Structure 1
Amino acid sequence: MGDSKQVGSGYGDPYGSGAGSGSGAVPAGGADKSGPAGQLKVSEIQGLGSGVTDSEGMTLYRFDKDTPKPPKSNCEGDCAGVWPAVAANDASVSAGIDAALLGSVERSDGTKQLTLAGWPVYRYAKDAKAGDALGEGVGGTWHVLGPGGKPAKAGKGTEGGAQKEEKADKSDAAAKGGELTAVQNPELGTLVEDAEGKTLYRFDKDSAWPMKIGCVDACTDTWKPAKPVDKDKVNGIAPELIGKVKRPDGTEQLTIDCWPVYSFTGDKEPGDTTGHNNKGLWFAITDKGKKAKVVG
Structure 2
Amino acid sequence: MLIYLKRNLLAVVCVAMVFVSCKKNNSEDPTPAGNNKKGIQLATDAKFGSVLTDKDGKTLYFFANDAAGTPTCTDGCETAWPLYYSADASTDLNLNKAEVGEVTRADGRKQSTYRGYPLYYYAGDAAKGEIKGDGVGGIWFVAKPDYSLMLANAQLTGNNINYTSTYAVGDGKTIYLTDSKGRTLYAFAPDKNGVNTYTKSATQEGIWPVYESEVLNVPSAITKTDVGVITVATISKKQLTYKGWPLYYWISDVKRGDNNGITIKPANAAVGSVWPVLQLNATVAPAQ
TM-score (norm 2): 0.49
Q: Report which of the two has the higher share of helix.
A: 2
